Structure 1
Amino acid sequence: MGDTVIRRAEISDVRALAELRWRFKTEDEDAGIPQDEAEFVAGCQEWLRARIAGPWRAWLAEGDGRPCGHVFLCLVEKVPSPYPGPDMLGYVTNFYVTPERRDQGIGGALMTALNRYAHDHDLDTLIVWPSHRSAPLYRRHGYDSPTELLELPIAPT
């Protein structure tokens, strides 16, 4: 991992986060991306600014002073219960490390930071819908298949 720094992203990082999001979503595309990069980055920055101070958290990996990865967490409130226990869970998404920085421990460091936050803030559970490529990383960091989760996909696939 070398000189890589993992830190909580701040409002001032929204441009870097938006640019990484563009790379993440277009990495495997050859053509046919329906939106211009500058238009997407501007819209994504606006979206992030409105949410990063609210229920969304993000961690940014920087190597040689440049952004090279991120992971996002959306805090989800649970309905109050008469029984004691955590009142929040977390939805993990948008996990990405740039191709040139993969296999250097950055993904693991991002997961460690995210999991530490979840423990420090007494979250009940972290949930994620991993890609085939990312599932082994999540499993190495303690994620497992649920026994009680059901899903109903709504959007057409």
Structure 2
Amino acid sequence: MSIIRLATLEDIDELVRMRWEFSEEENSDSTLNYEEFHQTCYEFLVKAMKSGDWYIWVAEDSGNIVSHMYLQLIHKVPRPGKSPDPYYGYVTNVYTRPAFRNQGIGSDIQLAMELWSKENKVEFLLVWPSSNSVQFYSKNGFFRCDEAMEKHF
């Protein structure tokens, strides 16, 4: 049974390693070596976690992190009659190590994130899923919407 918890600064080395693994699994054409990546990603995660706008849920099995899900709070411009600090959550960097997939761990993390989001008055969660992850998000209550637009540079 996995333990679901919020990540701490002590978890950053393992989170960097998992980000590297995830990227290697998706695209092994990296021109960056691990040491360079580690420094860049480590600095990003320290800053992100200290900002109060990023939260990372992890699943531990036998003391090792086996899965994670990141949430970035996006602050909205206040509106009359609404919460004084409105925000929504952007879900990203969801990864489970291959040996732990299809065991419900990702759903457990997503549920913990959802409960925290409700308690902290997050208006809604948003995710841009890969084609491989649409089924996971659908079974966990996410649905397609046509409201967002994007522009690439």
Specify if TM > 0.5.
yes
What is the match of residue 41 of structure 1?
Answer: 38
What is the percentage of aligned positions where both structures have the same residue?
31
3-state DSSP of counterpart to 2:50: coil
After superposing the two structures, state which structure 1 stretch, 69-78 or 136-145, moved more: 136-145
Q: Which runs of 4+ in 1 moved over 3 A?
A: none
Which residue number corresponds to residue 132 of structure 1?
Answer: 131
Residue 17 of structure 2 corresponds to which residue in structure 1?
Answer: 19
Aligned mates of 2:27, 2:72 — CA distance in 1: 27
Structure 2's unaligned 5+ residue stretches are: none
Q: How far apart in 1 are the matches of 2:55 and 2:100? A: 22
Q: Distance in 2 between matches of 1:39 and 1:68?
A: 23
For 1:5 and 1:39, the matched residues in 2 are separated by 31
How far did 1:38 drift?
Answer: 2.1
TM-score, with length taken from structure 2: 0.92
Number of aligned residues:
151
Query: Corresponding residue for 1:88?
Result: 87
Q: Which amino acid aligns with 1:150?
A: A
- Tell me what 1:69 maps to: 67
Aligned letter for 1:111? Q
Residue 142 of structure 1 is matched in structure 2 by 141
Aligned partner of 2:57 among 56, 59, 65: 59
Look up the match of 2:114. 115
Listed one character per residue, the Cα deviations across residues 119-155 of structure 1 (whole Å, up to 9, x for unaligned) are: 11111111000111211111111111124x2212314
Amino acid at match of 1:115: E
Measure how far apart 1:71 and its partner are: 0.5
How large is the Cα RMSD of the aligned pairs?
1.4
Q: CA deviation at 1:28?
A: 3.6
- Matching residue's letter, 1:35: L
Q: Which has the higher helix share?
A: 2
The one-letter code sitting in structure 1 at the alignment partner of 2:128 is W
